[in-house]
Structure 1
Amino acid sequence: MNKTLILAGTSLALALFSSTAVAGQGFLRAEIGNSETELDYAGVRADDSDTSAIFGGGYWFNPNFAIEGHVGTLYNSDLGDDQEADLVTMGIGVAGRTHFGPDNTGFFIGGRAGVARLTAQVREDTFDVVDDISSTKPYYGVSVGYDFNQNWGLSLNYDRRQGDFDGVDVDVDTVSIGGEWRF
């Protein structure tokens, strides 16, 4: 039994560190867009939209599969008296992509899914957090885009994030334009 486990572990390690697995690319991504935020508390709904900015990065193991992480702001509102309300996101997940051009360039479609932590916070004087509350739930998204070469591409993205803050359900739908640099 131990020999079988050692053989299976060795085979898995060799597969993970083979030349095709190590031949991937790291990447950095920046996205700017619009988030439509909807709140629901005991059947009472309210919604608003604001500019979103998300920065991320990760590693493409091959042209079709990656792990990724992100951090960004989805919503910001002035509350008066030098206070602001923010909705920020931080998450980790997987991404997939299919190219329609030669050498994994040209047009592509993609998808991503993972877990995101939404944090609603009230800030004073721009940086001092007065109060915050967080919720961790799955997120998902789809994209279409164009890779100009092996290192640079642009995309149009739709992402859905959700949160539950003490009985207040929050749904955030974000449409953004993103740029991705692979190295």
Structure 2
Amino acid sequence: MKKTLLLAGASLAIALFSSSAVAGQGFLRAEVGNSEIELDYAGLRDDDSDTSAVFGGGYWFNPNFAIEGHVGTLYNSDLGNDQEADLITVGVGVAGRTHFGPDNTGFFIDGRVGVARLTAQVREDTFDVIDDESSTKPYYGVSVGYDFNPNWGISLNYDRRQGEFDGVDVDVDTVSIGGEWRF
């Protein structure tokens, strides 16, 4: 049994560190879109929407597997009295991609999963945070896009994030357009 586990572990290590895995690419991504926010507190529901901007990056180990991180704003609202409410996301995860063109270009689909920390803030216009609360939960997303060459592509993205703040459940569905530069 130990020999079988050792052999399986060695095979996995060789696959992960083969020449195709080591010859990966770093990437930076920017996404701009619309977030639909749904709040649920003791059965009472409310929703709103706002422009989102998320920036991310990571590393494609090969054309089909990457690790990624992101940070961005999903919602901002003026509360009056020089105060604003913000919903900010920070997350890490993994992504998988399949290309339908030659040499990992052309049309693609991808999916991602990970953990995102949503932070709800109330702050003054001077950037002084008056109150904030955070919630960490899994996130997921899917994309369709087109890679013009091995270093540049665009995509249409859908992401789902959730949070819970003092009994208020928050669901955030974001549809965005993104650009990705690989180096």
TM bucket normalised to smaller: over 0.9
For 1:49, the equivalent position in structure 2 comes to 49
Q: 1:95 to 1:85 in 2, by over 3 A?
A: same
For 1:97, the equivalent position in structure 2 comes to 97
Residue correspondences, number: 183
Q: TM-score, structure 2 length as denominator? A: 0.93
Matches within 5 A, 1:78-117: 78-117=78-117
1:82-128, Cα deviation, whole Å (9 max, x unpaired): 11000000000111111110001000111111110000001113421
Q: Which runs of 5+ in 2 are unaligned?
A: none
Moved over 2 A (4+): 1-18
Q: Cα offset for 1:60?
A: 0.5
Give the distance between the partners of 1:2 and 1:81, measured in 2 at CA.
Answer: 67
Three-state SS of the structure 2 residue aligned to 1:127 is: coil
For 1:145, the equivalent position in structure 2 comes to 145
Three-state SS of the structure 1 residue aligned to 2:21 is: helix
Segment drifting more, 2-11 vs 111-120: 2-11
Three-state SS of the structure 1 residue aligned to 2:149 is: coil
Q: 1:108 to 1:14 in 2, by over 3 A?
A: closer
Three-state SS of the structure 2 residue aligned to 1:143 is: strand
Matches within 5 A, 1:56-67: 56-67=56-67
Which amino acid in structure 2 is aligned with residue 178 of structure 1? G
Q: TM-score, structure 1 length as denominator? A: 0.93
Which amino acid in structure 1 is aligned with residue 86 of structure 2? D
